[in-house]
């Protein structure tokens, strides 16, 4: 087994992307009504069935906007307690109030900025930015908190910059050389936003290949927040999940443009869909060639740079040797690990030939991956479709019409991959993707590259 090395010091940071008003993960407590959630919050702590009930109820109320929800969450914030279940619920309550645009809660949330709980302070700063708080007194509390290394200064900086608090500029400038990359990156971004001085943003490029994955993800969010379009080519080479790189492309690519920073839109999207590790700047390397078993187990790790390095190495190994190991060491487990599932899917597609006895199993795996409805496995869908088009084009052709169809396949990434697959296998068939129903601009751009479809 080879040792893994990387350059630079490990640092921790927190990624906090802008929270959407609605998430597919919000309604996870199916059957829990608003009335029941409100009743739980009215119960004394000792009467709860579980210590997590307060948190569950506060989380679930995101699904029920309105006065009664806001009143209950504000009453929860007013409770003075150091009990952990209450503190956890208060952190969530602040977040939910922010997402519900509960402007009447600004004062109560502002009081939480002085809490001894740094996580409540963090969520409160984020919520105040979400609510567009213009109270200079609360702004000053956040500015003063930047001097406390025990606070999440990254989120405080992001909130102050998002609120365009120019009085925070001096305090934020002093953090541009902070030892924590997450704080440093947020400060570089904020100074650009508050002062229009953008020269320092080039330093974010180095953050994209830091040893710690969370720092790399934070750097991408900093590039997005700063609107640093010139760094997009470097972002697209960062060794992180393709979800983060796609987020940057969607945020930074000029609307309606077919070219940006010397790249064609369809080329950039095609590269994201193929996700070839040879196109990424990997942070790790092997001191010596590892065994296949080690490389396969790397797919179950959390650092995508290591996963990509393993994938790049395995694409040059014999599938005759790999297949027995994959059957014994991961296929079943990967169905419960969406990261490993993605990299197994990629590995299938990168090899053109697999043992004869493996082809039926792999083909079934790939079809099931495209059809998988679990939200955690969305990034495997396009990867599986392209792998199937490469390994079993006849089977892919049989399914292509429904994977191209807007009504049957709501994920634009899957329909984009279907357009790529159609070109790969040259099906020549009329299908839903070519019948005028497609409205997503990225898919439309990809369809223009196909030869005219008869009919």
254 in a domain, yes or no? no
CA dihedral of 11, 14, 15, 21, whole degrees rounded to 10? 180
DSSP 376: G
Q: How many CB atoms lie within 10 A of CB 270?
A: 18
Is the pLDDT confidence value at 161 over 90? Answer: yes
Q: Residues 130-155: what's their mean pLDDT?
A: 98
Determine what percent of the chain is predicted with pLDDT higher than 70.
90
CATH code, domain with 90: 1.25.10.10
Residues 202, 311: one domain? no
Confidence (pLDDT) at 375: 83
Domain assignment of residue 259, yes or no: no
User: 168 and 298, same structural domain?
Assistant: no
Co-location of 307 and 208 in the same domain: no
- The closest alpha carbon to 29, from 12, 7, 50, 4, belongs to 50
Mean pLDDT, residues 409-436 taken together: 78
Q: Do 155 and 290 share a domain, yes or no?
A: no
247 lies in some domain: no
Q: Is residue 356 part of a domain?
A: yes
Has residue 330 been placed in a domain?
yes
- Closest C-alpha among 354, 397, 348 to residue 369: 348
Within this chain, do residues 297 and 153 fall inside the same structural domain, yes or no? no
Query: What pLDDT does residue 100 have?
Result: 97
Q: Is residue 21 part of a domain?
A: yes
In a domain, 304, yes or no: yes
Q: Other CB atoms closer than 10 Å to residue 109's CB: what's the count?
A: 27
Q: Tell me the mean pLDDT in the region 72-86.
A: 96
Q: pLDDT of 179-230, one tens digit each?
A: 999 999 999 999 999 998 899 999 999 999 999 999 999 999 999 999 999 9
Q: What are phi and psi of 431, to 5 degrees?
A: -155, 175
Task: Give 370-396 pLDDT, tens digit per residue.
Answer: 999 888 889 999 999 999 999 999 999
Number of domains in the chain: 2
Total Cβ atoms within 10 A of residue 119? 15
Q: Among 145, 169, 171, which residue's Cα sits nearest to residue 156?
A: 145
Q: Which residues contact 200 (CB under 8 A, 6 or more apart)?
A: 176, 188, 191, 192
Structural domain span for residue 344: 279-447
Q: 198 and 304: one domain?
A: no
Same domain, 171 and 297: no
Classify the C-alpha dihedral 11-12-15-16 as positive or negative.
negative
Give the per-residue SS3 of 96-138: HHHHCCCHHHHHHHHHHCCCCCHHHHHHHHHHHHHCCCCCHHH
């Amino acid at each position: 087994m080879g040792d893994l090395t990387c350059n630079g010091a490990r640092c921790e940071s927190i990624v906090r992307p802008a929270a959407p008003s609605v998430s597919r993960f919000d309604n996870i407590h199916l059957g829990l009504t608003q009335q029941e959630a409100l009743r739980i919050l009215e119960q004394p702590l000792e009467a709860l069935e579980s210590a997590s009930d307060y948190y569950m109820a506060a989380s679930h109320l995101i699904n029920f906007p309105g006065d009664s929800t806001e009143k209950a969450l504000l009453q929860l914030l007013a409770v003075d307690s150091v009990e952990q279940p209450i503190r956890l619920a208060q952190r969530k309550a602040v977040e939910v109030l922010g997402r519900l645009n509960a402007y009447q809660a600004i004062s109560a949330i502002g009081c939480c900025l002085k809490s001894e709980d740094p996580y409540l302070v963090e969520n409160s700063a984020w919520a105040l930015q979400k609510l567009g708080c213009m109270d200079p007194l609360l702004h000053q509390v956040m500015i003063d908190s930047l001097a406390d290394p025990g606070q999440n200064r990254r989120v405080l900086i992001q909130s102050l910059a998002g609120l365009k608090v120019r009085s925070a500029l001096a305090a934020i400038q002093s953090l541009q050389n902070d030892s924590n990359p997450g704080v440093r990156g947020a400060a570089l971004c904020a100074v650009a936003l508050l002062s229009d001085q953008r020269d320092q943003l080039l330093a974010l490029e180095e953050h994209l290949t830091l040893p710690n994955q969370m720092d790399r993800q934070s750097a991408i969010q900093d590039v997005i927040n700063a609107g640093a379009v010139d760094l997009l080519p470097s972002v697209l080479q960062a060794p992180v999940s393709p979800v983060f790189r796609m987020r940057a492309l969607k945020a930074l690519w000029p609307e309606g443009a077919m070219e940006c920073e010397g790249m064609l839109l369809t080329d950039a999207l095609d590269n994201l869909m193929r996700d070839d590790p040879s196109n990424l700047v990997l942070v790790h390397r092997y001191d010596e060639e590892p065994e296949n078993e080690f490389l396969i187990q790397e797919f179950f790790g959390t650092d995508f740079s290591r996963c990509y390095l393993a994938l790049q190495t395995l694409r040059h190994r014999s599938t005759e040797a790999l297949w027995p190991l994959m059957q014994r060491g991961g296929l079943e487990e990967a169905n419960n690990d969406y990261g490993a599932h993605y990299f197994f899917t990629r590995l299938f597609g990168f090899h053109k030939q697999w043992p004869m006895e493996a082809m039926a199993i792999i083909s079934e795996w790939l079809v099931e991956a495209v059809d998988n409805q679990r939200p955690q496995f969305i990034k495997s869908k396009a990867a599986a479709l392209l792998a199937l088009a490469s390994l079993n084009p006849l089977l892919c052709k049989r399914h292509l019409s429904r994977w191209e169809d807007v009504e049957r396949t709501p994920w634009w990434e899957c329909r984009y991959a279907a357009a790529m697959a159609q070109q790969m296998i040259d099906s020549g068939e009329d299908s839903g993707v070519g019948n005028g129903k497609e409205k997503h601009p990225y898919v439309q751009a990809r369809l223009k590259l196909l030869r005219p479809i008869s009919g």
